[in-house]
Amino acid sequence: MDDKTRKIARRLANKMIKEVGPAVREYAGTELAGAEVKTGADGTPTSFIDQIAEEKIVTILKNADVYSYLVSEEIGEVKLGKGKNRKVNLIQELKRTDLDEEETPKFIFLIDPVDGTTNATKEIPAYAISIAVAEVNQGRAATINDVELGFLYNLANGNFFEAEKGKGCRLNNEKVEPSKVIKINQMTLGGFTKSGTSEASKLVDSARRMRVLGSVALELSYVASGKYDAFLDLRGSRIIDIAAGKLIVEEAGGIITDKYGQKLNNVLSIYEKAIVVAANNEIMHKQMIDILNDNQADIIGKIGIISRIDQTPPIVFAAKIIDYLLTNGREVIIENQLVHELVKLKENPDLNNIIQESKEKYPEIAPMLDDINFNIDYEKISMNLYDFDCDMALILGGDGTLLRAHNKMQNNIPLFGINMGTVGFLTEIEVKHTFEALEEIMKGEYYKEKRTRLIVSHENHNFKAMNEVVVMTDKPAKMLHFQILVDGEIIEEVRADGLIISTPSGSTAYSMSAGGPIVDPKVAGFIINPICPYKLGARPFVVSDNSEITVKLLKKGKNAVFVMDGQINEEAKYEEEIKFKKSPKDALFIRTSTKYFYEKVKDKLNEGGIKKSS
């Protein structure tokens, strides 16, 4: 956005503030202010005071001599300017390439005309107009990171915040910065915490004081100016509420992310929401993220090593890792199958050539395979995988190796996957980053991510699965007849080649290949996906992970097998029931990267799981 364009945006924003202020204050505290007049475009009730404020904004942008897109809670998404007012779908509109320069809007305005409507209706002095401005980049959807200007005007007391990307934040034309507080027990915390989690309660209990003002945009500005030390909204704030506040916080020097510490990158849309965690500095922010995710990093002192053993390079690399960990004072245990292969390598007279072949096959790890110390008594630290008891299980391989380890370990040990497989969607890092990641972990610079697991019950036996359970015929090319119940209610009877019950983690595996949806691991649900159903209307279901799913076989004389994570096979017969419910214990992953789930989807799945040749 050049200087001339910024000047136009500021002029329009200032005009909005100048006209909305008196109109809102005229009705603040009156009975008419809170009268519900309609339902807004975002599905929430529209009060009279919201409507009069938005009408002022729409009139200003409609009569402007430039076109703009407006996203506002009552009117939704519209294109305004030069006397015109037209409804649009912003995401689709931005992807158009057929608009000439004169018809292309200059700005996207994201506006909450009155953030804190209830406060305004009751004349509680905490309500504001929030205006964020992004430049239009035709040909692609815009995200919250495209916002370049943010304005926030407290309609109750006249305080005015203004932020420009890369140029800081000002309050009433004076530069502001966040507080210097770094201790949780000295923190003033604002926001909304109705998440139903013990972690959120723990964070609130840890704070020195808690404030709930009912105005997201205004409270974010308090983090920027040091009145608050932190703010969070675990319900999910609308993008129009946080777009200006995000820029104000960041330009003041604060930090704002989602609950998992990942940068916000939501698309600009009336329907978009984001969970928000904002803090005055990195130290405070990390403590909040750790508490919210129950991630307080423990010292990793004892590490279990598991590897795929069908190829030599992972075994060779495992030897290097074992030597590294022992040299750095960590206690190590090794899966006994891997120990068997390590001992064979150690005793092989052709070991040097084997190492050289591994370097050639995996050139990305070649520099790390120099000076491997095989002078280790591997058998002394050998252990059956079922008996593993350690602080972290390090797994060399792909998703299959990781799932095998997870299914065989009795204890719920945090998993750290290093990809030496085909896709490695569940793994944390690519192999070339191994030692820098291990260094971070040993310094305590990691967090634990929780993933939902399934408990599968059949004939008084229980099994566990992290990705999926596949129910299929025990005879090739034969169909099964299933009855599917959710919490006792029949949702489908279907003939199909099989059935997949998947967790969100497994949504990128077999379920996806069978036409199921990709589901963010943070979604609390399970996917029920028929395989090749003989019925046009049989589609995948996503159900709550608090539900119990029951699958019953209806065809007499036909047996089925059900397979957990491709690892454990069991047989089910006619009229037998297989029940699925959420495990009381989540799977735990050691994470060093904040790479967002959707980026990983694109990285891992663009090539259909096939690595590009170098």
Residues annotated catalytic, as ranges: 399
> Taking the mean position of all CA atoms in its chain, how far away is CA 592?
15
Q: Which residues pair with 38 in a beta bridge?
A: 46
Of the candidates 315, 314, 332, the residue with the CA atom closest to the CA atom of residue 323: 332
Residues 591 and 586: their CA atoms lie apart, in Å, by: 15
Residues 383 and 395: their CA atoms lie apart, in Å, by: 15
* CA dist 24 → 12, 61, 214, 235 (Å): 18, 18, 17, 27
* CA dist 497 → 483, 532, 537 (Å): 14, 6, 15
Q: Which residues pair with 109 in a beta bridge?
A: 70, 133
Burial label for 441, CB within 10 Å (0-12, 13-18, 19+), is: buried
Phi first, then psi, for residue 460 (nearest 5°) are 65, 15
The DSSP bridge pattern shows strands 230-238 and 188-192 to be parallel
Give the Cα-Cα-Cα angle 406, 408, 409 (nearest 5 degrees): 70
Report DSSP letters for 101-134, one per residue. Answer: TTTS-SEEEEEEEEETHHHHHTT-S--EEEEEEE
Tell me the three-class secondary structure of 500-565, residue by residue. Answer: EEECCHHHHCHHHHCCCCCCCCCCCEEEEEEECCCCCCCCCEEEECCCCEEEEECCCCCCEEEEEC
What angle in degrees, to the nearest 10, is found between the helix axes of 216-225 and 239-252?
A: 0
